[in-house]
A and B are shown apart, each in its own frame.
Chain A
Amino acid sequence: MSAFFDIIFSSHFGYSVLRVSTPILFAALGALISDKAGVINIALEGIMLISALTGVIFSAITGSAFFGLFMAVLFGGLVGLSLGYFSLNLKTNVILAAVAINLIAIGGTVFILYLVAGDKGISSSLASKVLPKINIPLLQNIPGIGPIFSGHNVLTYLAFLSVLFIWFFLYKTPLGLRIRAVGENEHAADSVGISVVKTRYIALTISGILAGFGGAYMSMGYVSWFSRDMVAGRGFIALAAEAMGGATPIGCMLTSLLFGFFDALANSLQLLKIPYEFVSMLPYVATVVGLVIYTIRKTEKIRRIQEKAAEGGNA
C-alpha cells in the first residue's frame, strides 16, 4: 500500500496526469463548443487524426514546428467547416457525416502517409519537429510543485488556458451568447434575427480548431511521429468527458483531469503487484461512477426545483 501512495504523491505522477489529460481536454472543449450550438460533433477523433498527420508533414517540409502546428490547426478548422457544410447546407445527418469523416480519416491518413513517407505504419522517415517544452521561471524551482507544473509542452499550457478563453468566449462575448442561444432554442434565436446556420458554422469550425490542437499535440508533443490510428479513441473519450463535465468549460477540465488521473494511475499501478485486468478496468469504473454521481446530482436538482414550484403553486 505504501508503494501505491508513493506513486500517487510523486511529482512524476502529477506531471503525467497533466500530460495525459491534454489531448482529451482540447477535444472535450471542441465537443463543448459544438454541443453549446446544438450540434454533436463526433468527428473529433477523425479531426485529431488528420491534424496529427498534417502537423508532422508540414513541420517536416518546412522544418518549423510552429508552422506544422498552424497547418494542423488550419486543417482541423477546415474539416470542422466541411462537417458544417455537409450537415447544414446539404442537410445530411450530422452523426452520419461525422462517422464518414472518422472513417475517411482512418484510411485517408494511412494513404497520405504512404504517399509522403513511403510507409503505411509510421512517419519515422520524415524528420518532423516537436513543439518545445516550457520551463516556468520561479515555479520550476519550488520543490514538489515545480516538477509537476513546469516543463510541459507548450500545448499543455495552451489547453488549460483555453479553458479560460472558452469560458470567456461563451459567457462574456456576444458571439458566445448567440452560440448558446442557437443551442438552447434555434427557433427562438432565429426569431430575433440570429443566423442559426452561420452560428453553427462558426461553432463547428472552432470545434475543429480545438481538435486540431489536440491532434497536433499527439504527434508533435506526446510522441515525435505520426503512426496509424494514433489517436486511439481519445476523441471519443473527450465526448464522454464533455458530457460528464455537465457541458461547462470548468467541468470539462475537471473530468479531463479525472480521466487523465485514472489513465496515469492505470499506467503506473501495473508496475505493482496488482492484477493487470483490474488496473486496466480502473478508468472505465471511474467513468461509470462519475456518471452516476452526475446523474444523482442532476435529478436532485430537478426534484428541488419541482418542489419549489409546487410550494409556489400552493401559496
Chain B
Amino acid sequence: MKKLIVVSLLVLLVLMPVLIGCQKKAEVAEPAVEAEPVLKVVNLLNGVLGDKSFFDSAAAGMDLIKAEYGDKVEVKTIEMTYEQTKWEPTLLDIADEDWDIIIVGTWQMTEMLQEVAADYPEKRFFIYDTAVDYSLGLENVYSILYSQNEASFVAGAMAAAITKSDMPLANGDKVIGFLGGMDIPVINDFLVGYIEGAQYVDPGTKVAISYIGSFSDSAKGKEMALAQYNMGVDIGYNVAGQAGLGQLDAAKDMDRYAIGVDSDQAAIFVETDPAKAALITTSVLKRVDQSLLRAVKLHMEGKAPYGEAEVLGFAEQGVGLAKNDIYEELVPAEIKAIVDEAEKKIRNGEITVSSAFGMDSDAMNNLRNSVKP
C-alpha cells in the first residue's frame, strides 16, 4: 500500500512540469493569433520605486506609454532593487525573453548594458541619464541624456536673484547653497549650471557647496543644509535624491528657501506639511517620463536614433522648472522675468551652459573654489 502511494506520488511529480508546461504554452499561444504585433517594452530599475526622483519618474513614463498606445504596447516595470549583484543576471534574463525594447538607467548600468547589448543585436535598448561608449558599435542602443546643467542654470539665476532681493526670508549676504549627493559628474553637471546661472545674474554671488556622500542619509543631508543656512545661505538647492529631502526639513527649521530636484518636491509635502512646501520656491525637473514616452514614439515612427546619444533640453521637455502655485505666489514678477529670460536665451542658443561631463577634476575644483564663500 505504502509503495503504491510513493510510486503514484513520484509519477505525479514527474508529470507535474509537463502538465504545467502545457498550460503555459496555451497561455502564450493566444496573443500570437492576433494580427497586429504588440510592442513589448520593459523598464528595469536598478533600485526601487519611491525615490521621489527619477525611478518614480521612469515608472510614470511607462504609464504614459501605456496611456498613449493602449493595446498596441505591453509595458512592465521591474524593480531590481539596490542589490548590485542582481542587476546583471536580471538584465541577461530579460534580454533572453521576447521583449522588443529594454530600458535601463543611470551610469551604474552602462558597462553591463554595453556587454549585453552587443550580445543581443536584434534587441533594442534605451539607457537614460548616461550614455554608452559608441566606439564599441552598439547600433541598437539609444542613450538619453538630460541637460540638467541648463535647467540648473535657470535655477541658479533665480537663486541669485532671490538672495539679493528683498523677499521676506532673504538676508543681506549674497550666498546661495548647493547640496549634492556625491562628487560625481552627473551631480556636478547640476552644479556647473547652477554656478553659471548665479553668476549670470550677479558675478559676486557665492555658492556654499556640500556633498552628503550618500543618496539615502536624509539626516546627514539635513545636518549639512543646516550648516549652510547657518553660515548665511538663504536659498539652497538639493541634488541628492532622498538624502536631499533633509534640506527641505532644514529650510523649515531655519525659515529659509529651498529648491527641489528631479520631481516637484513641493508636491510631496503640500498635503501633510504645507508650511514646508511653501518654502520650496521651485523644483528643477528631469522629465525621465516624458523622455521615455518620446523615445517610444520615435521608435514607433521608425525615427529613434539608435546608435546615438541624444541630449534633451527645454525644447524636448527633457528638463524644466516646476512652475507650480507656490512658485507663482512666492516669486516676485521681476524675478520670474529673469527666469523666463534665462530660459529663452538657452532655448535660442544665446547662452551656452558648460557641462561637467568631460571637465577634468582640476577645472572642477577651481570652479568650486572660485565661488565658495
Contact = CB atoms under 8 A, between A and B. Distances in A.
Contacts of A10: 230
A224 B248 CA distance: 10
Contact of B217 (A124, A230, A264, A270): A230
A173 B321 CA distance: 62
A17 to B, nearest CB: 11
A126 B269 CA distance: 10
Interface stretch (A30-38, A114-122, A238-246, A306-314): A114-122
B341 interface: no
Given A122-B268, A124-B273, A270 B219 contact: no
Given A20-B223, A224-B273, A232-B219, A270 B210 contact: yes
A223 interface: yes
B50 A228 contact: yes
Contacts of A230: 216-219
Given A124-B272, A232-B217, A267-B224, A114 B183 contact: no
A121 B219 contact: no
Interface string A291-310: 00000000000000000000
Contacts of A222: 219, 222
Contact of B230 (A12, A124, A277): A12
A127 interface: yes
Interface in A126-147: 126-127
A10 B372 CA distance: 19
A263 to B, nearest CB: 8
A143 B305 CA distance: 65
Chain B interface size range: 35 or more
A200 to B, nearest CB: 32
A122 B50 contact: yes
Contacts of B216: 227-230, 232
Contact of B210 (A20, A227, A271, A277): A271
B209 interface: yes
A64 interface: no
A233 to B, nearest CB: 8
Among the interface residues B218, B245, B272, which one has the most CB atoms of the partner chain A within 10 A?
Answer: B218
B50 A271 contact: no
B269 A124 contact: yes
B288 to A, nearest CB: 16
B187 to A, nearest CB: 12
A91 interface: no
A287 interface: no
Nearest to A113: B50
A223 B372 CA distance: 27
Given A125-B272, A222-B219, A227-B242, A16 B227 contact: yes
B308 to A, nearest CB: 33
A57 interface: no
Among the interface residues A12, A127, A276, A280, which one has the most CB atoms of the partner chain B within 10 A?
Answer: A276
A131 to B, nearest CB: 14
Nearest to B216: A229
A267 B49 contact: no
Given A121-B49, A228-B216, 6 more contacts: A119-B50, A124-B268, A124-B272, A268-B227, A271-B227, A280-B211
13 contacts: A12-B227, A121-B51, A121-B242, A125-B271, A228-B216, A232-B216, A267-B220, A271-B208, A271-B210, A271-B228, A271-B231, A271-B372, A280-B213
Interface of A: 10, 12, 16, 19-20, 23, 110, 114, 119-122, 124-127, 218, 222-225, 227-230, 232, 263-264, 267-268, 270-273, 275-277, 280
